[in-house]
Structure 1
Amino acid sequence: MPSSSRDPSRPEGDADVVLVGIAARALAASARRAGLRALVLDLFADEDTRRLAHGAVRLRRGNGLAIDPGDLFAQLARHAGADIPVVLGTGFEDAPNLVARLAERYRLAGNGAATLARLKDPMRFAQLLAELHIAHPRIFAESAPTGVRTVEKRVGGAGGGHVRPAVRPRGEGWYLQEFVEGRSVSALFLGNGLAARRLGFSEQWCEPCPDAPFRYGGCAGPIRLEPDLERDIGAALDRLTRAGGLVGLASADLVLHPQGWSLIEVNPRPGATLDIFDAPPFPPLLRLHLDAWAGTLPDLPLLVPGAGVEARAAGIFYAPAAIVVRDALPDWAADRPAPGTRISAGEPVCTVRATGSDVCDARAVLARRMDHLSRALGTASRAAAE
């Protein structure tokens, strides 16, 4: 995913849509499927992103994996017209003020600052879920009651790398959430501010490392839940969409457990499951996102496993040590860094994708490809260390 240098860009005044995020390759692929000319602004401008996009600009990176707001506005002013729809991907969960500033100058096609603040502020979100009678873990601003297992999270954090077991949050901008044991599932849905349309369920897993035991690992789907459970979750998403004013693509992270299910968080933007759901039989998901933002929900059934439905899996490959990418990655790798790119230990290298007859088969293929990549990049790791 990282890029070795700041890539030059070209004027893109005839783009149909602007896509902005930490890594926007999946959105660019969806735009290509939809026949839209996309201008992409992200932190990497990877090789496949540049091929998919009408134009690509590599944004300056702030602390960690953060978008530099000053550079973002400068690049938008240079390359994007004020009347072109701007779709925000990941990277704005903790920045409702930045989203509000963007909305003042550009035509944001998605959820605005008010919705983002309502759903990503942990206390406000927990209160909203309680009012809507949606099961959720308890939130604590300070220490939790004795005997309650909790994890510490950063307000507006994404990707799981910020989540750790803790009994007291470290300070401002952090909080405790009750830990819920169970199966991690994500529900992809569309909202038009009044109702939600479920598209599909997927399973998720972590790729832990010593300082990030809940780091995001990947997803696979579609999966099928018990019909009563699917209906219950769908009704809850309807209530949440109306109350929160959700529009466009969004996902809900759930934990299934013997007592039922709990809603952990909602991501009010296109997310990681684009890699497994933006394929036939669905039409391009970016097109559905834009339609839902405009108020129209599609007449689509919930995607479930069965004849004619290919299972898909996608996982993040993290650098086990500092590496230099020496050769082009295999075709099944996405977010492809150019040869010569240096990547620090623990940072994402690429997304690995796989398909199969069912989810178990797709995950088995994914595991083999991850192992292949680990061995292939081992030489690069040793070369970087020498």
Structure 2
Amino acid sequence: MQSSIRLKNSGGATGRRMKPNCNSDETQTIAVVGASARAAAFSLLRAGYKVVAADLFADVDLAGHCPVTRITDYPQGFVPWLAETVCDSWLYTGALENYPTLVDELATLRRLEGNSGEGLRRVRDPLDLQSVLHQAGFLFPQTITADDGLLRKGSWLGKTYQGSSGCGVGTSGKAPYYQQFVSGIPLSAVFQGCALQGVTRQLVGETCAGAAPFQYCGTISPWPISHEAQHYLQRLGTLLSEEYHLVGYYGVDLIAHEGQLWIIEINPRYTAAVEIVQQACEDVGSCFGKMILYAESPLTVEASMRDQCLSKSGCYSWPTMADIPAAGSQIAEGQPILTIFAKGESPVDVHLELQKKAEELRLQIHAGAISC
């Protein structure tokens, strides 16, 4: 599988070696908006685009490579920001797929490189998705809207479909939807349009990262799958492209259970897994991964922590650490602190290295003696 990507009107996303359209001598400027813009922005920068960004964090490593604005009125604050921003087009990251009306409003301001609100409404409707997938012969857990005490039985999950990275998923409390729980290995398939780009192992709820149950905390790629599974996913990409008109990069959350792939959810935009798939496509034979560290207790970022992390972060072509918060940032319990990266010969090697780095760094951060 290759990942040679370029932006196209209403359809491109970012990629391993995205090439700017060469209709003029000037490099295009792409605006990136979302909860976190860093990964997509770095992908675009590697491809030679100019980038401007707006997100919830305005992390210092991103600010060192492109203009970035911290949005406090999320997500409505993206409207005046994009209206005032000079750019050729824009794309979004998580969790703007949950705001289709806002996406359409932003698309009236600048050309959208991604999926419009119409497609988002359908593909993010689990009942619509369930019907389409079942009719096509794909595995999708039974999903309903009635509670009937299902959560107390322990085999169902409540899902809001209003968050990202596992937010809004749980085993207690009321929710708009309830999905039958499928045990197994969490994976993700990354597509561009109908084309499968790569398969990743998703890291979820890892204690060394300080992650909550069901909370996404990292990615490892490539993940080996059978030829049969690859054909299954390629057929899925064709279905999603034709039925929902999905374009650009998007992700599909999967569970590998007893030799079968269950489709859990569609994330119709640039996902956190994309940058790792890009690296795996670029350096064939190696394995890459990242892990997000979450705060176990409230944390104030000191200038010394910022400086130490930034000095060790590397460059955007392949960082060793990223999403570094600014000095003075107040990070609440359960919120992301930063992201670490690793490279190895196998998924097991990368996973062990990420766990080792996470344990060491987490202890140093919370002891106030960080040494990156």
Shorter-chain TM-score tier: 0.7 to 0.9
Secondary structure in 2 matching 1:278 = helix
Measured against aligned partners, the alpha-carbon deviations of 1:71-128 in whole angstroms (never above 9, x if no partner) come to: 21111122235xx211111121221111121122221111001111111112222122
| Distance change (3 Å), C-alpha of 1:211 and 1:142 | farther
Deviation at 1:212, TM superposition (A): 4.2
The corresponding residue for 2:13 is none
The corresponding residue for 2:299 is 323
User: Take 1:369 and 1:143, find their aligned partners in 2: how far apart are those partners?
Assistant: 41
User: Take 1:126 and 1:242, find their aligned partners in 2: how far apart are those partners?
Assistant: 16
Secondary structure in 2 matching 1:27 = helix
User: Take 1:371 and 1:58, find their aligned partners in 2: how far apart are those partners?
Assistant: 29
| Distance change (3 Å), C-alpha of 1:313 and 1:280 | closer
The corresponding residue for 1:290 is none
Matched to 1:314, the amino acid is K
User: Take 1:352 and 1:316, find their aligned partners in 2: how far apart are those partners?
Assistant: 6
Secondary structure in 2 matching 1:52 = coil
Deviation at 1:245, TM superposition (A): 0.4
Secondary structure in 1 matching 2:114 = coil
Matched to 1:240, the amino acid is L
Measured against aligned partners, the alpha-carbon deviations of 1:121-178 in whole angstroms (never above 9, x if no partner) come to: 1222212212322210011101258768100011232111321114xx625xx21111
Contact 1:183–1:256 (8 Å) recurs in 2: yes
Alignment of 1:189-228 (within 5 A): 189-191=191-193, 196-207=194-205, 212-228=212-228
Kindly indicate whether residue 164 of structure 2 is the aligned counterpart of residue 158 of structure 1: yes
User: Take 2:38 and 2:278, find their aligned partners in 1: how far apart are those partners?
Assistant: 12
Secondary structure in 2 matching 1:247 = coil
The corresponding residue for 2:366 is 378
Contact 2:29–2:50 (8 Å) recurs in 1: yes
CA RMSD in angstroms, aligned pairs only: 2.4
Greater mean alpha carbon deviation, residues 206-215 or residues 179-188 = 206-215
Measured against aligned partners, the alpha-carbon deviations of 1:339-374 in whole angstroms (never above 9, x if no partner) come to: 332211111001111111111111111111101211
User: Take 2:275 and 2:337, find their aligned partners in 1: how far apart are those partners?
Assistant: 16
User: Take 1:373 and 1:148, find their aligned partners in 2: how far apart are those partners?
Assistant: 34
Contact 1:15–1:39 (8 Å) recurs in 2: no
Contact 1:100–1:113 (8 Å) recurs in 2: yes
| Distance change (3 Å), C-alpha of 1:263 and 1:52 | same
User: Take 1:112 and 1:345, find their aligned partners in 2: how far apart are those partners?
Assistant: 34
User: Take 1:43 and 1:349, find their aligned partners in 2: how far apart are those partners?
Assistant: 13
| Distance change (3 Å), C-alpha of 1:101 and 1:135 | same
2:132 to 128, 132, 136: 128
Secondary structure in 2 matching 1:279 = helix
Deviation at 1:309, TM superposition (A): 2.3
User: Take 2:47 and 2:252, find their aligned partners in 1: how far apart are those partners?
Assistant: 24
Contact 1:162–1:212 (8 Å) recurs in 2: no
Secondary structure in 1 matching 2:96 = coil
Kindly indicate whether residue 183 of structure 2 is the aligned counterpart of residue 181 of structure 1: yes
Measured against aligned partners, the alpha-carbon deviations of 1:27-50 in whole angstroms (never above 9, x if no partner) come to: 111111111110111111111111
Q: Percent identity?
A: 27
Kindly indicate whether residue 31 of structure 2 is the aligned counterpart of residue 18 of structure 1: yes
| Distance change (3 Å), C-alpha of 1:133 and 1:280 | closer
User: Take 2:148 and 2:341, find their aligned partners in 1: how far apart are those partners?
Assistant: 39
Alignment of 1:327-338 (within 5 A): 327=305, 328=307, 329=309, 330-331=312-313, 332-338=320-326
TM-score, with structure 1 as normaliser: 0.80
User: Take 2:190 and 2:281, find their aligned partners in 1: how far apart are those partners?
Assistant: 15
User: Take 2:27 and 2:85, find their aligned partners in 1: how far apart are those partners?
Assistant: 10
Matched to 2:237, the amino acid is L
Greater mean alpha carbon deviation, residues 27-36 or residues 209-218 = 209-218
Contact 1:325–1:377 (8 Å) recurs in 2: no
Deviation at 1:15, TM superposition (A): 6.0
TM-score, with structure 2 as normaliser: 0.82
Kindly indicate whether residue 75 of structure 2 is the aligned counterpart of residue 68 of structure 1: yes
Matched to 1:116, the amino acid is L
1:369 to 344, 352, 357: 357
Matched to 2:233, the amino acid is I
User: Take 2:248 and 2:200, find their aligned partners in 1: how far apart are those partners?
Assistant: 19
| Distance change (3 Å), C-alpha of 1:246 and 1:364 | same
Matched to 1:199, the amino acid is Q
The corresponding residue for 1:52 is 65
